[in-house]
Structure 1
């Protein structure tokens, strides 16, 4: 038996707004029609979805259970609707790009500029997140392209995804130029005794730092300052406090200006592949394929 998706949609909006009145305004459907269809839906399946508390409707325990998958269903519907809209509006679509800080601050600006010169009517939306979130956003069709560090992220969860390596980056320990360890060779034991400034848990560099410590049988360092942005973490190190573990592609500009110095830690040399992931070309609008072409031609 097929489910009455229209009634399920009405249930979703009443649950979301907390009242039939608000759902009626949002959907432009009369209150009696909404109430009647929800009652019929409840009667059809022998269940109670709402109970009255004051002026509001609240979900019953089963209503709460039903709401979670229903919410996912209609969020997915919105995403599908957006995809179709973009396709119909071509070349006035929207290009959604998700990337880690390195990608969105160092790599993507040039590529986005070149793209907009060719496609001025396409809206470009760029979001900065950690690497895992960037990949998850792509996997769930929330973005069109994800660019991130591929450390311990399984990119083969879907046969429809295509990932290309853009760069082989390196992780480095950095300090202010006047730090006692600036431009020196030291042991991992010495390094981890220093106060660390890092990104949030879930970031690629944070995970790699933990892996380095585990591989050398030492406890991870104490994170004295934590930021949601890599630039903020680097600026704190530039100001003279603590050390950090960062991408060389990001740190190189600060090192060249004399604002940061590296520390060579004995026996530690870790690389980080920067990858571009998208869905298979056959599933992409022409302008998304063109953006990937622009990247491949201008990634040097």
Structure 2
């Protein structure tokens, strides 16, 4: 059986860059750290570090171990957090992460229905862009992830289970006073406008860039960038530039006359909203119950 204590010593030395810094971080003497790592190397007939000049350098095998150990210790931390959560929330805790669309429009009503049935369960909801939401699920930082798929690959190949919830679309939107409001124009004309978008990594922004690449056109200038859709929408409503957003987000603003859609010829892009959970033999009861509510409603 592998000695996880020694592997943690190795990992800390590797990530801090020296036995001295690892000693300070772990509050273990330098000789003790070195001796345990050397003993581990001898037991397994391997070499994890080598000396180059005055520096301690990872061997190829040592480099290969860093990523799996990072995941291992992240899982260990999650186990510890689950135990702490059990004492703080004996009836359970459900961690939901979603992109802006999901947390502002979809998840609130589902979470409310869930809490009506399971009032004593702690429900934690956080917002991230679509790629970050998927990463949090894969890193065991969330139990459910709901986001727009855009042109991202289906996550089932990454050990996750996914359910399609909606077929959404991306819309170009401007203020009602904009010269292109409710007009039919070309993509070239649309891309000539200054754009207001969310941060890099958001599905809408990546899909817009991919559209430009497919059409062999220069992407628009992103003149304003917000970490969240609310700021982008308010800036467009104020009369500056254009944005490219989910129709589920845009429709209420368009219905109230606060935004206007621009009809761009030849552009109709789907944004599939999916719910992802980790693929396992036995689905956790709270995840299964929340998933059932989301699918039905």
Say whether the fold is shared (TM-score over 0.5): yes
**Structure 2 partner of 1:110:** 109
After superposition, the Cα gap between the structure-2 partners of 1:93 and 1:50, relative to the gap in structure 1 and judged at 3 Å, is farther
TM-score normalised by L of structure 1:
0.81
Q: How many residues align?
A: 284
* Residues 73 and 263 of structure 1, relative CA distance in 2, 3 Å threshold: same
Does the C-alpha gap of structure 1 residues 36 and 214 become closer, same or farther in structure 2, counting only changes over 3 Å?
closer
Cα distance per residue 1:50-92 (max 9 Å; x no partner): 99xxxxxxx8333995884444331222124445666798852
CA deviation after TM superposition for structure 1 residue 136, in Å = 2.4
User: For 2:268 and 2:157, how far apart are their aligned partners in 1?
Assistant: 31
Q: Quote the residue 1:172 is aligned against.
A: 171
User: Partner residue of 1:93?
Assistant: 92
Distance 1:44 1:190, change over 3 A: closer
Structure 2 residue runs of 5 or longer lacking an equivalent are: none
The residue number in structure 2 matching 1:255 is: 254
State the TM-score, normalized to the length of structure 2.
Answer: 0.82
Deviates more, 1:183-192 or 1:2-11: 2-11
1:54 aligns to what? none
1:2-24 Cα deviation digits (max 9, x unpaired): 54222333455677693645524
Matched with 1:56 is none
**Corresponding position of 2:21:** 18
Contact 2:50 2:58 in 1 (8 A): no
Report SS of the residue matched to 1:153: coil
Query: CA 1:175–1:65 in structure 2 vs 1: closer, same or farther (change >3 Å)?
Result: same
- Which residue number corresponds to residue 284 of structure 2? 285
Match of 1:61 in 2: 57
User: C-alpha distance in 2, partners of 1:200/1:89?
Assistant: 35
Query: CA shift at 1:40, angstroms?
Result: 3.2
Q: Kindly indicate whether residue 153 of structure 2 is the aligned counterpart of residue 154 of structure 1.
A: yes
List gaps (5 residues or longer) in structure 1. 25-30, 52-58
| CA distances 1:188-241 after superposition (whole Å, capped 9, x unpaired) | 111111111111222111122123323333221111112221111111101110
